[in-house]
Structure 1
Amino acid sequence: MNAYRLKPLSFPWPPVLYGLAILFALLADRFIGILPSVMPNGYLFYAIGALLVAVALFLDLWAIKTLVEYRTTVMPHRGAQRLVTSGPFRYSRNPIYLGYTLITLAIGFLTGNAWFFVAAIGAAIVTTVIAIRKEEMHLLARFGIDFEHYCQRTRRWL
């Protein structure tokens, strides 16, 4: 099949994966509950959580705005029309997924549920294996050497 018509994913997995990670953290805290609470200083952890929410929302909105400006898809299961390397993509090849991870961590700080830290790391690993690697193969097939150069100067996560 033509590289221009290939789709990286058949389903938009990353939002679902992070939703499942959040559900896992909530259920694990309720039914397993062996991790200690992360609230030794409630105000400090609440402030960290609020800051992470703000950073994550800013990052996600900035990434979406950049993709829209370049007239390429925001949806992870659709083929990219353009290789975007500016905006937040200058610092991370996956700023939207980084935002999802930060939101998951923020919920852990805001709720005092340490399972959210486990869930955030797990979701990032699973997203890398299930989605990011396939998306990168799509971008490599679609944009070739330009994508390789981009990968050399920009990290996958941070």
Structure 2
Amino acid sequence: MNDVTTRPNSLPWPPIIYLAAIAVSVLLNVFYPLPWFGQPLSSILVVLGWLMIVACVALNISAIRAMRRAGTTVRPDRGTDHLVMDGPFSITRNPLYVAGTLLVLGIGLVSGIAWFLLLAILAAFTVQKLAIEREERHLHARFGETYLDYARRVRRWI
């Protein structure tokens, strides 16, 4: 990261990481499937998984709308022009990444593939290290004390 005020990352890590988690989960299940829950718990988990996927879509739409209203980019590899603190950003500083994690977890529950649950946690940790922490430095450099006040009021995840 050459100039933290210009942009936080050179690559859009989060979508790459979440797609990789999905692909690796499927591949691991093909070569080394893990046991899954039987009925009736598996049916309940499928419903919970669909709810997580719907929540992912709703959270994504809401966060993207809030960012567009504020006139800032949605891309994680571009610098932001405005600090968004309303809508889902008033609940979590990273609603798009919460949504990505919900998507991976939801697919795992719907498909009954246990690997998704492990890879969702690994993906969230990787996103935090490769994207969130860099974005936080970027936001602090761009917005100073305003960002620090926001970060004290709103959690990083949930």
Q: Provide TM-score, normalisation by structure 2.
A: 0.94
- Please identify runs of 4+ aligned residues in structure 1 that moved more than 4 A: 1-4
Alignment size in residue pairs: 156
- Give structure 1 stretches of 5+ with no counterpart: none
How big is each residue's C-alpha offset from its partner over 1:31-73, in whole Å with a ceiling of 9 and x where there is no partner? 122x221453243122111111111110011000000001000
Q: CA deviation at 1:2?
A: 6.8
- Give structure 2 stretches of 5+ with no counterpart: none
2:153 aligned residue = 153
- 1:2–1:47 CA distance, 2 compared to 1 (3 A): closer
One-letter code of the match for 1:85? M
Identity of aligned pairs, percent?
A: 39
One-letter code of the match for 1:88? P
The answer on whether the counterparts of 1:38 and 1:109 sit within 8 Å (CA) in structure 2 is: no
1:116 aligned residue = 116
1:97 aligned residue = 97
| Residues 40-79 of structure 1 aligned to structure 2 (within 5 Å) | 40-41=39-40, 42-79=42-79
Task: Provide the aligned C-alpha RMSD in A.
Answer: 1.3
- 1:103–1:39 CA distance, 2 compared to 1 (3 A): farther
1:87 aligned residue = 87
Q: Provide TM-score, normalisation by structure 1.
A: 0.94
Q: CA deviation at 1:136?
A: 0.5
Q: CA deviation at 1:3?
A: 5.9
SS in 2 for 1:20: helix
